[in-house]
Chain A
Amino acid sequence: MSNPFLPPSGELSLYIHIPFCERKCPYCAFESFIPSRVDATVYLELLEKEFEWWSIRIGKPMFNTCYIGGGTPTILNSQQWSKLIKTIEKYCNFTPSAEITVEANPNSLKAEHLHAWRDWRVNRVSIGVQSFDDAELEQLGRMHNSAQAYEALSAAIVSGFSVNADFIFGLPGQTFHNWSRTLKDAVKTGVDHLSLYQLTLEPGTPWENMPSENLSDGYYPYRWAQWYLPRKGFKQYEVANFSKPECESKHNINYWREGEYLGVGLGASGYLSEWRYKNISTLQEYADAMTSRKSAITSGERLTPEAKAREAFILALRMTDGVYRDQYKNKYGAFYEQMLLDILESFPKHLYEITDRNIKLTTKGMRVANRIWLELI
């Protein structure tokens, strides 16, 4: 059965947002709240109502990937997880090989979570380690120390999940020595995927007014990661992501390849029928909308063909495979490809590579990707 909301290809992802944290990290700009005792339970009820709202419109779609992120999904206890899983199963179908990822924090990840996830469909866990240096973790306002991080990683790995760990570089006072030790340790834990983020001072966070001179230069840690990780079997497949073979995050690749996804939950974003939407981001308004069976969507946008072509090009350049030229031309036309190619060719040659099949940034190009996108947008 074809549905006007859903992609004809049938490739569809699902994102579920759990907007709760035990503590707000001073650098983080994601939607999240410190919940009272009942908030999480109430929220799961509301989430079910949102699923119900969607089911009237799109039925029970088949998803290829699912990502439950936050916030902190591990703030939910096992009972709440049962409830959440039940809701999801009621409204969603998954392909047999669907990639299902859950985000976890080292301090709140419990054995009960791993059991609950393993008994359901979860096959990938992404853990916000950030650093193996205790002083850095304290600086970041994290609630865990390095010992807890090791514990959480090994528990998840032993439970049979494919595991990603997030790390942050460019911290104030971070030395190259600290960073390289963190990465070396990360490789030793047996994770198969690493996400490396440079600290950015986001508006609306306590750190937004920190003088950026305080931050350490991001160049050396990033360049070193680009050199070191491939030697340990981690291939860079996107600006910020490295993985063992076949361990790339399909869910995230779907974002960068302009795939469609249903976003559910407070503050979540979705992309359906080439239409990008964003949900209400305060708890009260979300609750009001859900209890009165209204839509959770607060804004939406549809790009012009040119803006779309530019965005697709930029997103594809995030990936080391870059733009697949045939696909791109089929979808957006040779005109835009040539237009953007002309811009790209105005840059120094060592930053990009053009073949018959692909247009991509080189390792060096990745380091200055933002500057290149600036001209392409």
Chain B
Amino acid sequence: MPLSKIRNFSIIAHVDHGKSTLADRLLEETHTIQKRNMKAQLLDMLELERERGITIKSVPVRMNYKAKDGNEYILNLIDTPGHADFTYEVSRSLAACEGAVLVVDAAQGVEAQTVANSYLAADLNIELIPVLNKVDLPSAQPERVKKEINEIIGIVADDAVLVSAKTGIGLPDVLERIVRDVPAPTGDANEPLQALIFDSVYDNYKGVICYVRVKNGVLKARKTIRFMATGRDYELDEVGVFKPTMEPVDELGPGEVGYISATIKSIDEAHVGDTITEASRPCKEALAGYKKVKPVVFCGYYPIERENTNQLREALEKLQINDSSISFEPENSVALGFGFRCGFLGLLHMEISKERLSREFGVDLVATAPNVVYQIVLTNGDIIEAHRPSDFPDPVKIEETREPYIKLSIFMPDEFVGPTMKLCQEKRGTYVGMDYLAPERVRLTYNLPLAEFILDFHDRLKSCTRGYASLDYDHIGFKADNLVKVDMLLQDEPVDAFSFICHADQAYQRGHTVVGKLKELIPRQLFEIPVQAAIGQKVIVRMNIKAVRKDVLAKCYGGDITRKNKLLDKQKKGKKRMKQVGKVAIPQEAFYAFMDVTKAEDN
């Protein structure tokens, strides 16, 4: 197939604007899939993706299309993940395309991810085809939305395609526009091989399968290839295309999209964004834009049943085979036993991973409250990373603390600006700007500590904008802040599981909440228990759990002795379920409740 007859494109959209439904309709329209074989939203293959209505993994598919000009075309649709946690993956998928269909809900208009994804595409210089979806809805306002696209995204949308993925209106127009407006790929089959890995999955039989877009050169089975980021060589087992099931082909030439397998054992060897070249004739330069993604949100995963630590480890290993952006290392908690500190690309990624562990691997686990990575400059000049409160050194050794920031864009009707600004302010945000997108729609931009964002920002924003806001964010690096580790002390002994990191200004308030909660949850014991929140040596909050004053098994005569013994035994077993920290017995609920407290309090 000549390059001029190939079109590589993505579909980008804000969540729920109908991206996956549109993709499915296109597959039907091109007879790539028979309607009766169609599960709703075929491309979202994980059960979880379908349930949540979001795409996590990119799934490419190849369509054959006979255009009105009489020519046969190959249309490669590269679906993209739809969440800010996966921005890098989205950018790599887009980098494999020459164009993108920008789907906007004709009733809702431009939302935060519409803008974020459009900017990503614009940065890569790829062509955008605006499509207004859901035009069949009575509330659709295509003219208003076209204007929004013009003004906010800065692309001409006057000739935007009007479709309804639900009823099928406008679908042929979308295909025609793709053929017309998406540039044909360029590339030279005689140049040294350059192919972009835009995603990779693990297959139990074939090992790692890389989804690739060939830029130059040809991928042929049994050639030896090299991954440029890792420098490792592999012999190609299979080369193929997606129809949408995988079908082997002899070769993939420039401009083509397909997959390769090469007995790659671990997904960590096949980084998204890496360039594949020939071992015998390597290209001079790797394709631009590669980076290794680093987890930004961490939390502890612990098995509910303590003896299941190994099961959890195996499940994490398997999950990591499918998703190399997850990191984990063993950790030990006084409260929860042996578990793992896991790193994720964001909150959604964390939640999805937890769900996958339980659904796909049958692991029941407890997740601790998430936290971010802090940078700490020590007085001796060293910089260390802290992934958890216990990584924080003694305050006297700290020269400076830094925390990750995000640039947050929030789109909303202007009536909610006040409460939203108040929320961002409360979350230690720095105002960046505000602009009117349309007479009553506003974009508010704030720089916000990631730690505050992952705490409970989504829920709070939802409640203060009645669900009308949408948001997107970018990581913008570390910024120095006055961060402190707040220790919780029971009877003057610090209890690791309860300590947390926060801004110095919030230490008292949060300390107070946690101390109050612990006081409520830890049962009275025979001695008074001081519960304290402290920063280093300085106690900032103190409450006392009063001692038990009366607990007598009143009567005990001849007939009662056996019964009383059993009663005592039973009570003692109840007590064994509590965790003994020093002399203090702490019920398991206290540890769980602590996670809720650190997740959502400070009102």
Chain A interface (Cβ < 8 Å from any Cβ of B): 15, 30, 197-198, 200, 217-219, 222-223, 239-240, 252, 255-256, 261, 263, 267-271, 276, 278, 301, 311, 314-315, 318, 346-348, 351, 366-375, 377
Contact = CB atoms under 8 A, between A and B. Distances in A.
Contact of A276 (B527, B549, B551, B562): B562
B552 A278 contact: no
A314 B548 CA distance: 19
26 contacts: A15-B558, A197-B554, A218-B550, A218-B552, A239-B553, A240-B554, A255-B557, A263-B558, A263-B559, A269-B559, A271-B558, A276-B561, A318-B556, A347-B527, A348-B526, A348-B547, A367-B550, A370-B571, A371-B525, A371-B548, A371-B551, A373-B568, A374-B568, A375-B572, A377-B568, A377-B569
A372 B565 CA distance: 13
Interface string B537-552: 0000000000111111
Contacts of A318: 556
B52 interface: no
Closest 8 CB pairs of A and B: A269-B559, A219-B550, A370-B551, A377-B568, A219-B549, A197-B554, A198-B554, A367-B550
Contacts of B572: 374-375, 377
B558 A348 contact: no
Q: For the complex, would chain B's binding face be called helix, strand, loop or mixed by DSSP majority?
A: loop
Contacts of A271: 558, 561
Contacts, number: 96
Interface string B571-592: 1100100000001000000000
Contacts of B552: 198, 218, 222, 239-240, 366-370
A218 B550 CA distance: 7
Given A268-B559, A311-B565, A346-B583, A373 B553 contact: yes
Contacts of B555: 197, 240
Contacts of B550: 198, 217-219, 222-223, 367-368
Contacts of B554: 197-198, 200, 239-240
Nearest to B559: A269
Given A314-B568, A315-B561, A346-B583, 13 more contacts: A15-B558, A197-B554, A218-B552, A219-B549, A271-B561, A315-B556, A318-B556, A348-B526, A367-B549, A369-B552, A371-B551, A375-B572, A377-B569
A283 to B, nearest CB: 17
Contact of B558 (A255, A371, A372, A374): A255
A369 B551 contact: yes
A269 B562 contact: yes
A261 B558 contact: yes
A218 B565 CA distance: 22
A165 to B, nearest CB: 15
A278 B565 CA distance: 15
Contacts of B525: 371
B548 A252 contact: no
A57 B124 CA distance: 101
Contacts of A223: 549-550
A374 B561 contact: no
A252 B548 CA distance: 28
